[in-house]
Structure 1
């Protein structure tokens, strides 16, 4: 008789709503321990989760579960790319972009049920200047908002929306040179989003046609933005529609290069990465195993 598969839960203790649930207790109560054995570890600082995930994969863990928001999911997934260990998600953040795309329940009990079913699929991942992402990366305004949001003591959707509304017409587009599908062109850039999954999080769909298993990036380029275009683009994102060409342009590719005259901010899965003047964005097809609903 084979031994039970091992699951490691990596918990970010700072993630989650104020009315905190005792997550280890819910795992103990709801995980099917006739099927699985498990352990629980806590992150101690930013950048700790990839090491904890990689350690578990090296020891032969079948599943490593990220318990936290998009940043925690990104860190755990980074430690599992190209391994035989599957990523599981217990969403505890405000955006939960990858969990939503994969249709993992937002509630703890429902997400644990998905783990008990143990259905594994394989998805693409991407990288921007060597930084892995699994939902979206981008340069320009969305990266700027990520940098401001990271330094804000208040979290959550309301804070994010307030920041966007405050800054959206103050941020200025910049000239860039982009190379997409071996075609180079000069353009203004308010934001250039690189989508592996369809949404940023919170059901805000930047690329509703994105397929997380097709080996391609869906690139959304917004050249310039005024109030009318901003309202139209916001409406399209919230209603899962493609914006028209006046507001945004879309490209499908597996490799993008961008050069800028002055450094621009960039993000990976909503986490601010810094500034650069050159960007290399690539796809890694079918590089991450994930536990998803049947």
Structure 2
């Protein structure tokens, strides 16, 4: 069992004594100091071991490559700021001890994993895996702002604060978007983001039709919006009614290409990654075994 002591602004560390006392004798609890220690610990585990991760979407994202490389099973005790992966697994609202018992004992099921590949503005190549979302454009710029937001804000309020702050510097990007070899869009866009879970940003129902075990990802493409239009769209995004807008489109895909004429900000599972001009996304069907409901 691995607990990220930095999750949810450091609040996860307070759970250490409670979780330790609840563990059966044959289960060890570790609280790695940083990502390097966590990855080393995961790399030392035998294949098909079950790892119970205590943290949020960012924690799962950072540990995901090692989980896949060692063919490890994943159980989740959600204590992060977003927890959209946990929502997709039916764990929303579960107390930590109840989630722990479930993560240790319930059966696993396959979960798709998203894969993004891109070059940064200097030509360096990158590859990132994700479980919930890979954002490109406005929502990634918002993610970057959440990193500097007030520490006392969490979840949806923190995301909304960052969104309103980003509105003051609103920009669009000229994008060329192709899904499964079919051209979808050329021109200005607010964002072109890809979802594996149905929610992002701590529960906003971005792509309600998305499923984590269907072998597909879901594009959410927003055309050009001004400040007032973006502001008016926020309540619709929070309630899942945004897809009725003529400038909002969604499409299920296996492969996606996004080309931008300027530096496009990127983020995966709420973690800011940098900038790209050319982005390619694909799905790894059923690549991870997870404990769900």
What TM-score bracket applies, with the shorter chain setting the length? 0.7 to 0.9
Unaligned runs of 5+ in 2: 118-126
Structure 2 matches for 1:1-294, cutoff 5 A? 9-16=1-8, 22-31=14-23, 33=24, 37-46=26-35, 48-56=37-45, 59-60=46-47, 62-81=49-68, 83-106=70-93, 107-129=95-117, 130-152=127-149, 154=151, 155-157=153-155, 158-168=157-167, 170-184=169-183, 185-227=185-227, 229-241=229-241, 243-293=243-293
* d(CA) in 1 for partners of 2:176, 2:195: 19
Cα contact 2:198–2:210 (8 A) shared by 1: yes
Question: Greater helix share, 1 or 2?
Answer: 2
Cα contact 1:82–1:288 (8 A) shared by 2: no
Cα contact 2:12–2:55 (8 A) shared by 1: no
Q: Which secondary structure state, in structure 1, belongs to the residue aligned with residue 2 of structure 2? A: strand
* d(CA) in 2 for partners of 1:229, 1:118: 45
* d(CA) in 2 for partners of 1:82, 1:214: 22
User: Which whole-Å deviations, capped at 9, do the CAs of 1:125-171 have from their partners, x for residues lacking one?
Assistant: 00111200000001101111112222446251323211112223531
Structure 1 position 121, deviation (Å): 0.8
1:280–1:51 Cα change, 3 Å:
farther
**Higher mean C-alpha deviation, range 267-276 or range 81-90:** 81-90
* d(CA) in 2 for partners of 1:120, 1:55: 21
Q: Which secondary structure state, in structure 2, belongs to the residue aligned with residue 81 of structure 1? A: helix
Cα contact 2:4–2:13 (8 A) shared by 1: no
User: Which whole-Å deviations, capped at 9, do the CAs of 1:79-121 have from their partners, x for residues lacking one?
Assistant: 1126542111111111111011111144212211312432211
User: Which whole-Å deviations, capped at 9, do the CAs of 1:57-82 have from their partners, x for residues lacking one?
Assistant: xx246211221121111122221126
Structure 1 position 49, deviation (Å): 3.0
Q: How many residues align?
A: 280
Cα contact 1:218–1:253 (8 A) shared by 2: yes
